[in-house]
Chains A and B, each alone.
Chain A
Amino acid sequence: MIPLVLENVSKTRGRGARAVEVLHGVSLAVEAGEFVLLEGPSGSGKTTLLAVAGGILTPESGRVFLEGHRLHGDSRASDRGRRAKTVGFVFQRSNLLPQLNIQENVLLMGRIAGMKGADASREAEDLLRRLGLFELRYRRPRELSCGEEQRVAVARALIHRPRIVLADEPTGNLDSQAGQAVAESLAKLAGSRGSAVIVATHDVRLASFASRRIKIEDGRIRPEGNPVSPARPEGGR
């Protein structure tokens, strides 16, 4: 089953005279294990595309399929449940909840996705170990560096083994070294779990992790860039 398919999706933001069509007939399919780079200038529609793909925004026209299930149909509750189970999100900022420690932040997503406690704990431990954060698991987000916080966000996005991870400028707030570590972690761990990844970014350094690069301008996808081979399960480079 293809994790994500967008068919001729259009989306307008704002109302009345201030309405702007942000996406124009966008079509896209993302295969399992792909690491797709969505590149474009600010205001090109990258974030809106991720939000529509993740079921957060409803398009005016077109269809979105997550794991073959059409989103934005009759039941928003059903969409929400499906989104929780099949999509992982990484935001520009880590957006970790400050009242929870690192482990609780990661486990929270497991709970939202409906995982059993023991399974979620096992996955969280595995991810935090692989990200080198296990020793920091009882710390609060404010006690971590930005790079560490964003790696925790990667763990949160992957704990429930989503079919697709949507990352919006995940390295946008990081220095080059931390950004490299976050991108590497995301590519490696998502690949090892068979999760597809779409990363919306300006950061050209992430190109080395991509199996495919898509350019978006003025809400339209431009068929530029050569498709490259899918990311290796444990590599990504």
Chain B
Amino acid sequence: MLRVLTKSLRGRRVRSWLAVAGVATCTILVIVIASAYRSVRTAMSDYAGQTSIDLWVAPEGSDNMIRGSFVSFIPLGDIESLRAIPGVAAADPIIQGFLPVESVEPNGPQRRLNLLTIGFRQPDGLGGPPAYVKGRAPRSGDEVALDKAAAHRLKVGVGDTIEFIGSRVVVAGLTTGTNILATQFVFGDLARVAEGSHSEGRASFVLIKLAPGADRERIIGAIEGRSPALRAFTREEFVESNEREVADGFIPLLALVTALGVGAAALLVGLLILSVVDERRGDIAVLMALGTEARAVGQGMLAQATALSLKGAIFGVALSYGLNAVLETALPTIPLRISTLDVALIAGLFIMTGSVAALAPVVRLSAIDPLEAFRS
């Protein structure tokens, strides 16, 4: 009965498809924002969470890469004392800062970007790129590894020369998981980056690799005991702190866009059902005159609203994956990491909201008099 009622009170085809398209567009919008958030969060955690790093040592007051270490530094002289702590297998400094990178003329018009620059001990020091999509790690001060999206923006590839802190260097590798939307990572030689950022003799962070079986908590205590200006974090703590920092910036935007998207979708579905109730008033009166309960008619309307929202959500999800594939090759500067869980939650939210939005117009059914069947 529900199926027949839903079919018999279906809205006009074009309007229904427009509503579906509207819900799909809103779904894509929210999925894109959520996926961008997921991507930035993952990029930060991919870098900070490299398994080769057991502890992050930061200057007091700095507990993540986004907010910290631009005003306070760790003197490089402290590093030797950290290496001397029993259980520490390796301790390497990194220095970070926003530094300019420019393409050079043979590759087309000059382009300049300010990238999040990580200076690390090349070629195998801790804190290098988490993964490469092409090429290899830089081996000398004349080579850098560049995020693939930054390379796309600069129109350069592996083997090309770029201007990096006033010198020409060769792009040895392209990295992935190093795009945080607002900017991308570039990895260069520690000394060159320190010189370029006027931070010689200092480090933003010191990364510690522990010896097998070492007592992590004891070593953290030992590090912090050596200098009250140092704080040591486990890898997990540092990742969590970076993720929290990303979330603090993103979540309000994500929440706002989600609310606007869901609201727009709800309006579309609600309007469509309202138009169906108004346009099909005569048919509804006939159904009621024949003995159909208003509640059954309402259920038919709700089923229609749910079906529209479901179609919109499904199309939105499918198109989001398609868009992601296109962006991946055509516009890698917009990193999207689509999470199945996010998609399921967003689709569920849209389906639920669409159904709820139909409740208001369905309530108007009670104002329809079956007697209208005799007049229509």
| Chain A residues within CB distance 8 Å of chain B | 47, 50-51, 54, 56-57, 77, 80-81, 83-85, 87, 89, 91-93, 95, 97-100, 104, 107-109, 111-113, 168
Listed A/B pairs (17) with beta-carbon separation below 8 Å: A47-B374, A84-B290, A91-B373, A95-B282, A95-B376, A97-B8, A97-B9, A97-B283, A97-B286, A100-B8, A104-B4, A104-B7, A108-B4, A108-B290, A111-B1, A112-B287, A113-B291
User: How far does the Cβ of B311 sit from chain A's closest Cβ, in whole Å?
Assistant: 17
Contact between A56 and B1, CB atoms less than 8 A apart: no
Chain A nearest CB, measured from B370 CB (Å): 5
Q: Is residue B363 contacting chain A, with contact meaning CB distance below 8 A?
A: no
Main secondary structure, interface of B, reads: helix
Interface string of B1-41 (1 = CB under 8 A from A): 10010011110000000000000000000000000000000
A108 CB → nearest B CB, Å:
6
Asked if B293 CB lies within 8 Å of chain A CBs, one says yes
CB distance A83 to B291 under 8 Å? yes
- How distant is B273 from chain A, measured CB to nearest CB, in Å? 15
| Nearest 3 Cβ contacts at the A-B interface | A84-B291, A97-B8, A95-B286
Greatest chain B CB density within 10 A among A57, A100, A108 is at A108
Q: Are B291 and A51 in contact (CB under 8 A)?
A: no
How far, in angstroms, from A57 to B289 measured CA to CA in the complex?
A: 10
- Find out whether the CB atom of A89 lies under 8 angstroms from the CB atom of B290: yes
Residues of chain B with a CB closer than 8 A to A92's CB? 374
Please report B residues at the A interface, Cβ cutoff 8 Å.
Answer: 1, 4, 7-10, 282-283, 286-287, 289-293, 370-371, 373-374, 376
| Closest A residue to B284 using CB positions | A97
Residues in chain B near residue A91, CB distance under 8 A: 286, 373-374, 376
Contacts of A57 in B (CB 8 A): 371
A57 to B370, CA, bound (A): 9
* Given contacts A51-B371, A92-B374, A95-B376, A112 and B292 within 8 Å (CB-CB): yes
- Could you say which residues of chain B place their CB within 8 Å of the CB of A98? 283
Min Cβ gap A47→B in Å is 5
Q: Please indicate the chain B residues that have their CB under 8 angstroms from the CB of A54 in the complex.
A: 289
Contact of A56 among B287, B292, B371, B376 (CB under 8 A): B371
Contact B370 A56 (CB under 8 A): yes
Question: A80, B291: Cβ atoms under 8 Å?
Answer: yes
Closest to B1 in A: A111
A77's nearest neighbour on chain B, judged by CB, is B293
Closest chain B residue to A55 by CB distance?
B291
CA distance A104 to B4 in the complex (A): 8
Set of chain A residues within 8 Å of B290, measured between Cβ atoms: 84, 89, 108-109, 112
Chain A residue at minimum C-beta to C-beta distance from B370: A56
**Cross-interface CB contact of A112 among B7, B283, B291, cutoff 8 Å:** B291
Known: A57-B371, A99-B9, A111-B4. 10 other contacts (CB 8 A): A51-B371, A51-B374, A56-B289, A89-B290, A92-B374, A97-B283, A97-B286, A100-B7, A104-B4, A108-B8
A237 to B283, CA, bound (A): 33
Instruction: Please name the residue on chain B nearest to A156 by beta carbon.
Output: B290
Q: How far is the CA of A51 from the CA of B293 in the complex (A)?
A: 17
* Minimum distance in angstroms from A174 CB to a CB of chain B: 17
* Residues from chain A with Cβ under 8 Å of B293 in the complex: 77, 80
Chain B residues whose CB sits within 8 angstroms of the CB of A97 once the complex forms: 8-9, 283, 286-287
How far is B373's CA from A109's CA once the two chains are assembled, in angstroms? 15
Cα-based distance from A100 to B9 in the complex (angstroms)? 9
What distance in Å separates the Cβ of B295 from its nearest Cβ neighbour in chain A?
10
Q: Which residue of B lies closest to A81 (CB)?
A: B291
CA distance A100 to B376 in the complex (A): 18
Residues of A within 8 A of B371 (CB): 51, 56-57
